[in-house]
Amino acid sequence: MGIDYGQLHDPNADYTMRELSEETMELTRSRGETRDVSITDVQTTMIDGNFPWTLVRVYTDAGVTGTGEAYWGAGVPELIERMRPFLIGENPLDIDRLYEHLVQKMSGEGSIAGVTVTAISGIEIALHDVAGKILDVPAYQLLGGKYRDAVRVYCDCHTEDEADPEACATEAERVIEELGYSALKFDLDVPGGRETDRANRHLTDSQIDHKAEIVRTVTERVGDRADVAFDCHWSFSVGSAKRLARAVEECDIWWLEDPVPPENIDVQREVSRVTTTPIAAGENVYRKHGQRRLIEDQAIDIVAPDLPKVGGMRETRKIADLADSFYIPVAMHNVASPVATMAGAHVGAAIPNVLAVEYHSYELGWWEDLVEETVIDNGMIEMNERAGLGITLDLDTVAEHMVTGETLFDPA
Ligand code: MG
């Protein structure tokens, strides 16, 4: 049987195709109008939390406003004010281009690392909130969609006496049982044991024994109920770090964080290679370029970027992608308000290799009041269908906790 060319050229079929084409064109036109948006202003308000949180607002001529947050650091609001003219009139949907634009424009101020990158991070997060709202999609959708419907949160824990192993173990149980977390972190750069000279970074055997006792007491009491990490805050010499990491190998901890200073990647790798204790680092280096050698040299077992410091949401995604090509998971360092914590959750939802996002404010008492929505519930952040970051600032709470001398940014 041959082809019925008459049917293919059915005038009615052609008519239908023309109609569809008109419809498609109309849809394209209306979307084009939605996407013809300009940034009209950028403002900041600093909150006096357990860290100074710089909230960033990007305003547009579409009546849509986005909120971001920059990690703390002297001069961050001033740097954002410096960048304001580079953003006015630009299309907020071009997130990647605007990020690179700011990096280039601020190269003189030092946009390879430090507070300039922190300031750019706050703007970049706000752009994701704006873009999601304009396109009516959650921010994770802008990053490629979801791997998971909820992102795990780990709770940074503190006690009155951080050097007391039993006090740490009791607090671990309380956070598991009362707050619902299954992932915890404690500080391990605490006093205890015979100290000789802190400046030389050397740990005596009795100091190692004391730290191992904290780790053992907490992990034994917690059992299978939670994963527990321990943070050393870049404190120890390479030899001491190796001895400490080996001394806690039997405890099966989640990770040992920053046992040595952050500058020397070769030393970082040396420590990671001699122990089965997983070593995490990364909160003190910036952008994908700063994280690259940590990952490519396999100097760490877990990478720990701080999203509102390292460069923002897409930069964290890029770091996570690089880490994933070396089969390295991501634990997001985070001391932020609900704004950047949600940004972390959106990235965490959109990357394969996330372990968890940190929560560092359980002693504050009003962290969750900053936004109208529930953020952390039972140690998890549920992702939802709300556009952008999916949160609404409670401006009364923001105003109540502003740093002295701050003025509140425009409501919308
Ligand atoms: Mg840390």
Domain CATH number, residue 114:
3.30.390.10
How far is 336 from 316, CA to CA, in rounded Å? 15
Q: Say whether both 108 and 224 belong to one domain.
A: no
State in Å: Cα 333 to ligand 1 middle: 7
Distance 256 CA to ligand 1 centre (A): 10
Is residue 227 situated within a structural domain? yes
Report CA(47)–ligand 1 centroid distance (Å): 22
Q: 301: CA distance to ligand 1 center in Å?
A: 15
Asked whether residue 409 is domain-assigned, the answer is: no
81 shares its domain with 188: no
Series of mean pLDDT values for 10-residue runs along the chain (412 residues): 46 47 53 81 97 97 97 94 98 98 96 96 98 98 98 97 97 98 98 91 97 98 98 98 98 98 96 98 97 97 98 98 98 98 98 98 97 98 97 97 94 83
Contact 55, 336 (CB under 8 A): no
Tell me, in angstroms, the distance from the centre of ligand 1 to residue 334's CA: 9
- Domains identified in the chain, total number: 3
Cα-to-centroid distance, 50 and ligand 1 (Å)? 15
Q: What is the 282 CA–ligand 1 centroid distance (Å)?
A: 9
Last residue of a domain, one of 79, 108, 137: 137
Q: What is the pLDDT of residue 32?
A: 57
What's the gap in Å between 229 CA and the centre of ligand 1? 10
Centre of ligand 1 to C-alpha 330, Å, is 13
- Is residue 350, in this structure, part of any structural domain at all? yes
- Looking at the structure, tell me whether residues 325 and 176 fall in a common domain: yes
Residue 30 confidence (pLDDT): 53
Calculate how far, in angstroms, residue 13's C-alpha sits from the geometric centre of ligand 1.
Answer: 65
- Other beta carbons less than 10 A from residue 159's beta carbon: 18
Whether residues 199 and 233 fall in one domain: yes
In a domain, 97, yes or no: yes
Query: Do 20 and 65 fall within a single domain?
Result: no
**If you measure from the C-alpha of residue 306 to the centroid of ligand 1, how many angstroms do you get, rounded to a whole number?**
10
Are 242 and 333 within one domain? yes
- Tell me, yes or no, whether 63 lies in a domain: yes
Looking at residue 18, what is its pLDDT? 45
Domain's final residue, options 137, 172, 197: 137
Q: Is the domain of 194 the same as that of 96?
A: no
Task: Tell how far the Cα of 259 is from the centroid of ligand 1, in angstroms.
Answer: 10
Question: Considering the domain boundaries, does residue 49 fall inside one?
Answer: yes
Residues 128 and 237 in one domain: no
* pLDDT at residue 106, rounded to an integer: 97
Query: Do 75 and 180 share a domain, yes or no?
Result: no
- In this structure, are 212 and 83 located in the same domain? no
Residue 412 lies in a domain: no
Distance 37 CA to ligand 1 centre (A): 39
303 CA distance to ligand 1 centroid (A)?
11
Residue 121 within any structural domain of the chain: yes
Q: Which residue has the tokens 């050397």?
A: 202
pTM equals 0.92
- The reply to whether 272 and 338 lie within a common domain is yes
- For residue 254, what are its two tokens? 């989640």
**How many C-beta neighbours within 10 Å does residue 312 have?**
29
Distance from Cα 335 to the centre of ligand 1, integer Å: 10
CA of 211 to the centre of ligand 1 (A): 16
Long-range contacts of residues 319-327, Cβ cutoff 8 Å, at least 24 apart: 319/282, 319/288, 319/291, 319/295, 320/347, 320/351, 320/353, 320/354, 321/351, 322/288, 322/291, 322/292, 322/295, 322/296, 323/291, 323/295, 323/353, 324/351, 324/352, 324/353, 326/295, 326/296, 326/298, 327/353
In this structure, the answer to whether residues 291 and 193 fall within a common structural domain is: yes
What the block records as the tokens of 400 is 């109540």
Residue 196, pLDDT score:
87
Rounded distance from Cα 257 to ligand 1 centre (Å): 6
Q: Domain range for residue 132?
A: 39-137
